[in-house]
Structure 1
Amino acid sequence: MKKYISAFALGLLPLTTMAATPPNLEGPSADPLAAPVPAMVAAPAAVATPNLSIPSASAGYVPAALDAAPVQQVPRIAPMASASHRRGRAQAADVRSPPLVAEASTSARLALGSSPTLTAQEQAALAIARRWKESSASNGLNSVAGPDGTVRFLFGASQPSVVCAVFQVCDIELQRGETVNAVHLGDTARWVVEPAVSGSGATEVMHLVIKPMDVDLETTLMVATNRRTYHLRLRSHRSEFIPRIAFIYPEEAAAKWDAITKREATEKADATIPSTDESMNDLSFDYRVEGSAKWKPVRVYNNGQKTFIQMPTSMAASEAPTLLLVRKDGGIWTDEETAMVNYRVQNDRFVVDALFEKAILIAGAGASQDRITITRGKQQ
């Protein structure tokens, strides 16, 4: 008994063993140190309570101090799960648990992406495009004030920058009679471009209504029409915006000058004798032509020094008449007095180196004679 208590006191024999299996004090194997120690894995966890009962003679004597000490709790080892059970738990975790790393947005991936190495030719082309885009900021003549608060940009001089605001509209006015073939917008998710038309028929004007969906946005807009292609830069502001935008077309001004030149040329041609390039403003057409001959003159005029008798083109296929000046008209008893005059024929004209009051053109003789009388200052 003393040897058993000493072994327990030294910690060589757990209390659970003594409580579960009392030692056999009889026989050669009564030594408690020789008894096998049971596995502690199977021992249930228990909370020690003071033993207030009187020990029996068969159980042996246990000191009260040792009986009141707490029993050491052994951690419980859970049984190993099967492979199928582990796979089921892993699949459930995959369904219920969110990914550890969220997928980056498209814009973030684009921002983190690396740019390719540019060649010298590409860099030179980009420099040209950059100067063209930034020229509007350095050249103040690219935008001027127009009527009704319209901001007018010189088309082709730079890439116009149009500032728009949220809950406001920017109106881009195209040239009169211009029609839109296609519209391409860089950011179609946060910008809206809608068509509008003002006027009708010959006065119809196409408009583009621009509306941003957020502030601090920037994109580009390309508009292809039946006359030209527009390239614009769009920017959104919280409160500032340009209500109306229009363009100044250099070719339009050139076309106006061309129209004026053509009109003046037409007026000059109408006022000029084609064969002599003489201006009708310097000529006098105050003549009366009488008679019914086939070769009757088309017009008679003078330039203050010479007299011109323009004949029809049909005279080339017939006998040319003779020109005589009438010095004195004939009466009942007297004949008219005529005289020869120097003249020459140039193409379809008779050119007389003098001014006359009256002249006659005659062809043939007798009853078959044709006669045309030309009188100055008596135009009907």
Structure 2
Amino acid sequence: MPYKFVVFLPLLLLAGCTKHLSNSELSKEFINPNKVVIKKVREPLPNTTVAATYGYGNDPAVKRAYQQFLKTGKMANINSEGFRTLAYSAHEHPIISCEPLHLCVVQLEQGENINNIELGDSAHWAIHTSLIGTAENGSYQIAIKPMMEDISTDMVVTTSKRTYNMGLVSMPGKSTHVVNFYYPEETLSNSVNQTQQLKTAETTENSVANSSLLSINNLNFDYQLKGDKVVWWPIRVFDDGDKTFIQMPAQAERVDLPILYLRRSGQLQLMNYRYKQPYYIVDGLFEEAYLISGKGREQVKVIIENKHFS
């Protein structure tokens, strides 16, 4: 897989700020910082088919939403006239609007089988299931019909792959005729697993417990993480009194890696670091740092605080 090599020089991030820190000032934040750092960025594989409802995996809108998920970690729903494509998450509870005495349809993932459907109010709601395509590669759909207006209930669908928790509302003139799903987290996980299987020969490069790299005599794990919900949220952060290690999840290999900044006196400054899968390695210690990805309204960040810093 190709790599991009990006060379970072120390500079100030904030616009209009041109003051450079002296070596004595930097020594307070870092131990023996490097002058130039080479960072390897792994490019995502192109033309990924997104796990989705039958017929939607290669839909351009779905693929754009998935690429946005890779960049920002945010799962966007896709809305059009009478249709909704939802980004599935086990923690979400989508609300589906159906017009009284009319059908609205929920379509599941391709190859997914329905085990059970529970309705909170089966007296005023009717459901029926059917299959689109073949049993191996098709998608089951659930037709839903409310018997009267201004009512609501819950529907829980358990399948061979997951559980759906949905809210149903019946409102005159307001209906989503067809609801289907795409599965960004599952797509990313499958892509990561495939990559790992192809690169088992490189597993020795992933070990940070190398006697020439890490001192185990003075490890500090007292770090706190906070910030946006992102797919590349670090697994752990620690230091050995000389170097700082930020361990990234396997999913980070399939997205654009965030950039690491130091926060000092209210300003963000690019840090000297290198990335050796799955670790960011900083030649020094810091009190507070930021992992930032994206720009403007699409920017997301994770803040790392060293509670043991003094």
Query: Structure 1 length normalisation: TM-score?
Result: 0.31
Could you say which structure has the higher helix fraction? 1
The structure in which a higher percent of residues are strand is 2
Q: Greater relative contact order: 1 or 2 (C-alpha under 8 angstroms, separation 6 or more)?
A: 2
